[in-house]
């Protein structure tokens, strides 16, 4: 569920940023977008709700390329 909300937030902030011309709103959206994007870079230790198996799967998926066979 968290990943769905995260992806939707990213889409919404980018959409609003593309449509907004008000500089103050743009600065707020840029900050929100940067904060949300920073969640992608958080280490596994920052996600204590994940089991070790889930972290392992997530780490493996992060290095994979869609459409490319795993080596």
> 10 Å Cβ neighbour count for 36?
18
- How many domains, the chain? 1
45, 32 contact by CB (below 8 A):
no
Task: Judge whether 6 and 36 are in contact, CB under 8 Å.
Answer: yes
Q: 11 lies in which domain range?
A: 1-42
Domain contains 62: no
pLDDT averaged per 10 residues in sequence order, the chain, 71 residues: 90 95 96 92 57 55 48 46
> What angle is formed at CA 11 by the lines to CA 7 and CA 35, rounded to 5 degrees?
70
Threshold 0.85, pTM exceeds = no
Residue 29 inside a domain? The answer is yes
Residue 8 lies in a domain: yes
Residue 38 lies in a domain: yes
pLDDT in the model for residue 64: 45
Q: How far apart are CA 21 and CA 23, in angstroms?
A: 6
In a domain, 53, yes or no: no
Does some domain include residue 51? no
pLDDT at 43: 60
Q: Is residue 20 part of a domain?
A: yes
> Is 60 a member of any domain?
no
């Amino acid at each position: 569920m968290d990943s769905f909300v995260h992806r939707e937030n990213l889409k919404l902030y980018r959409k609003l940023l593309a449509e907004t011309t008000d500089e103050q709103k743009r600065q707020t959206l840029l900050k929100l977008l940067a904060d949300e994007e920073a969640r992608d870079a958080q280490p596994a230790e920052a996600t204590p709700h994940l089991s070790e198996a889930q972290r392992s799967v997530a780490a493996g998926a992060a290095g994979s390329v869609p459409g490319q066979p795993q080596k």
